[in-house]
Amino acid sequence: MKPNIKKYIITALTLCLIAGASAGVIGLAHYITAPILESNVDDETTKLLQKVFGDNATFSSETKIDNQTYLASYWTAKVSGNEVGDVFKTSGSNSYGSISMIVGIKIDGSVGKIYLITNTESYAVYVNQYVAEYNDGTRALDDVQCGATKGATLVKNMAVAAQDFYKNRKGLQ
């Protein structure tokens, strides 16, 4: 075997071992941290639930939603024993990133407060501003001129999907 070929083979094997070891370390780190990250998202979701209908609200257990675009699950909210609406956990993505959020739907079927859980949109700051202004009442849900129209449209589509699901479930159509 020529000396140069032997060097190439040794170099290739060394690089393969390094790549394999690196992949193993990354996989181990993911295995260790995934439950912690999931728990943090669940804790954040629980905190945000209270913000939708206020500190006096109580919530049913989470109900999973299957085969619905954007919708993952919902909780029924009550204040003083009276149902005030549902809170939906939604997620969606487009070419600029992904968003997961919770959407409050009031008992009359109107969209209430919206809070972002995660936002990886490339124009995240504008989407955050859009949601904050919607919650403050200074921007309509259908007003998508926020500097990140694609992200705002995604937020709107997820909110409308939650609203439509609620209205269909409650017979408000």
Structural domain contains residue 80: yes
Per-residue pLDDT of the chain (173 residues; tens, 9 = 90+): 677 888 899 999 999 999 999 999 999 888 888 887 777 767 777 788 889 998 888 899 899 999 999 999 999 999 999 999 999 999 998 888 888 999 999 999 999 999 998 888 777 777 777 788 777 776 666 655 555 577 778 888 999 999 999 999 988 87
pLDDT score for 142: 66
Residue with tokens 């193993």: 24
Q: Determine, yes or no, domain membership for 151.
A: yes
Angstrom distance (rounded) from CA 74 to CA 105 = 10
Give a yes or no: residue 165 inside a domain: yes
Return the pLDDT at 16.
93
Q: Is residue 34 part of a domain?
A: no
The DSSP bridge pattern shows strands 82-94 and 111-119 to be unpaired
Assigned domain for 20 exists: no
Count structural domains, the chain. 1
pLDDT of residue 41: 67
If we measure between CA atoms, which residue out of 69, 83, 77 comes closest to residue 48? 77
Which range marks the domain in which residue 138 is found?
Answer: 49-170
